Amino acid sequence: MTNKPEVIFFDAAGTLFEVRGSVGEIYSRIASQYGCGADAEQLQQNFARWFRLQPPMAFPAGTDEDKLREMEKGWWSNLVRAVFADCGAFPHFEEFFDDVFERFRQPELWRVFDDVIPTLTELKHTGIRLGVISNFDSRLDDVLRGCELAQFFDSVHISTRNGAAKPDPLIFDTALVHHRIEASQAWHVGDSLREDFEGAQAAGLQAILLDRNHRHADNPACIASLNQLLIRV
């Protein structure tokens, strides 16, 4: 890595923040309030399985915001219904889903990694622009604000608004066009080998794999903590 980037893009979930506990624990806790006593571990296993099987969370670019929110909610409803499919009768599923869907836009369900705010603060001081490229829905706007991260970013590109989900090069290209830069002038940092690292590489960006759990230590493009970015810029 030799050239200082014009823009550094970051993935969101898994890179900047993570779910507090697990999705299965949260689903189980809230479902119990609606008369469903589902096991948290089983729900977590179901979630991991069905999330992988879902179609990309990407809808036509330019979709009206009201329609977009409806499509996002429908995508998640299909997933969560599949997660609970083998848990027996759930007569109040719709009420539960409306509740849990809204709760996941609140900062209380997310934990910002300790290295995030110090690193973003220092990067902003260098004059480098920062952005987000994420396979997330429009609730990310609320999550970033609630977690006090929105102030750091000059742009936020999400798959549901951009018509493509990582690793599709289109979502990276859209972000580059927004900033009026070439791919060689941008870095992308994320925790997914396929979506973030390989996706960004294929789009021509300098890809950096955030490997907090040291699963890819043999990859020279890995960093174990975001603060390692500061010695590369």
Q: What is the pLDDT of residues 141-174, one digit of tens each?
A: 999 999 999 999 999 999 999 999 999 999 999 9
Comparing 66-80, 153-167, 192-206, 217-231, which segment has the lowest mean pLDDT? 217-231
Average pLDDT, the chain: 96
Which token pair is 1?
A: 């890595």
CATH code 3.90.1150.10 for 7-16+113-231: no
Which token pair is 200?
A: 């960004």
pTM of the model: 0.95
Task: Please state the domain extents for the chain.
Answer: 7-16+113-231, 19-108
Q: How much helix, strand and coil, in percent to the nearest 5, is found in the chain?
A: 50, 15, 40
Could you please state the CATH topology (level 3) that the domain comprising 19-108 is classified under. Answer: DNA polymerase; domain 1 (1.10.150)
Does residue 3 register a pLDDT over 90?
no
CA distances from 220 to 20, 208, 209, 210 (A): 30, 9, 9, 11
Please, what's the largest Cα pairwise distance for the chain?
58
Cα dihedral 116, 118, 124, 129 in deg (nearest 10): -10
In this prediction, residue 59 carries a pLDDT of 97
